[in-house]
Chain A
Amino acid sequence: ETGVTQSPTHLIKTRGQQVTLRCSSQSGHNTVSWYQQALGQGPQFIFQYYREEENGRGNFPPRFSGLQFPNYSSELNVNALELDDSALYLCASSLDEGGVRTYEQYFGPGTRLTVT
């Protein structure tokens, strides 16, 4: 158990719709990263938040956006869903130890999104 939870577990949406995925991590895990994992591929970095500010972004369009809240929860929003957005969406958190960021990331169970 990593202490990272995600909701919902599964989701089916129609092309063009919008979706919000949620993640909750443990106290002290001030860094949260979101990844997209297509079938047969490794996770691809979407973006990262540290202390409620975005501090890094991968090669994803602006319709992928996020927020991080003071209570160690975060969300990933995807607008104008496309068929290729069908994937497993993972969030991962990292611990601050005495104010020093660590780089080990612990994943939640993921949300399986299907776009039809």
Chain B
Amino acid sequence: QKEVEQNSGPLSVPEGAIASLNCTYSDRGSQSFFWYRQYSGKSPELIMSIYSNGDKEDGRFTAQLNKASQYVSLLIRDSQPSDSATYLCAVNITSAEAGTALIFGKGTTLSVSS
């Protein structure tokens, strides 16, 4: 059973701080990794994708990938109240049964206080 693990939170940070969200995955063959943001009552929105070891920056967001440790993280700099949402880590797997599918963690709820 391929799994993606995240701390459910809530993670609370003050406005302007750095929020750090972590994710581990079980499938060593995974090559594609994604972070989605989901506001309450809405559908997931893709905010970052990462395919190679190291860091990838996009505005206030930085994704970090370490395939040897099977670990993905998302840093949000200068956190804003509008960043308050659930962040879902997703890992692409390939298998005979599932084809190519995204396996999601349960999500980490982030709360940014002003």
Question: Residues on A close to B: CB < 8 A?
Answer: 2, 33, 35, 40-45, 48, 50, 55-58, 88, 90, 92, 101, 103-110
Docked-complex contact B43 and A56, CB < 8 angstroms? no
12 pairs from A and B in contact (CB 8 Å cutoff): A33-B101, A43-B88, A43-B102, A43-B104, A45-B102, A56-B99, A56-B100, A58-B101, A101-B100, A104-B46, A105-B102, A107-B43
Q: With contacts A42-B107, A103-B92, A104-B49 known, is A56 near B44, CB below 8 A?
A: no
Q: Point out the residues of chain B lying under 8 angstroms from A2, CB to CB.
A: 45
Q: How far is the CA of A58 from the CA of B105 in the complex (A)?
A: 15
**B interface, CB within 8 angstroms of A:** 4, 32, 34, 36, 42-46, 49, 88, 90, 92, 95, 97-107
* Overall SS of chain A's interface: strand
- Contact A33 to B97, CB < 8 A, known contacts A104-B34, A105-B46: no
Q: Chain B residues with Cβ under 8 A from A101's Cβ?
A: 100
- For A45, the chain B residues whose CB sits under 8 A away are 98, 101-103
Given the complex, which residues of B lie within 8 Å of A92, measured CB to CB?
A: 102
Q: Which residues of chain A are within 8 angstroms of B99 by Cβ–Cβ distance? A: 48, 50, 55-57
**Inter-chain contact B97/A56, CB cutoff 8 Å:** yes
Q: How far is the CB of B21 from chain A (nearest CB, A)?
A: 13
Kindly provide the distance from the CB of A35 to the nearest chain B CB, expressed in whole angstroms.
8
A109 touches B100 (CB 8 A): no
Q: B104: which A residues are within 8 A, CB to CB?
A: 35, 42-44
Q: Is the CB of B101 within 8 A of A43?
A: no
Q: Enumerate chain A residues within 8 angstroms of B4, measured Cβ to Cβ.
A: 42
Since A42-B4, A88-B43, A108-B43 are in contact, a sample of 11 more A-B pairs with Cβ atoms closer than 8 Å, ordered by chain A residue number, is A35-B102, A42-B104, A43-B102, A44-B104, A56-B100, A90-B43, A103-B92, A103-B100, A104-B49, A105-B34, A107-B36
A94 (CB) vs chain B CBs: closest residue:
B100
Within the complex, what minimum Cβ distance (angstroms) separates B63 from chain A?
A: 13
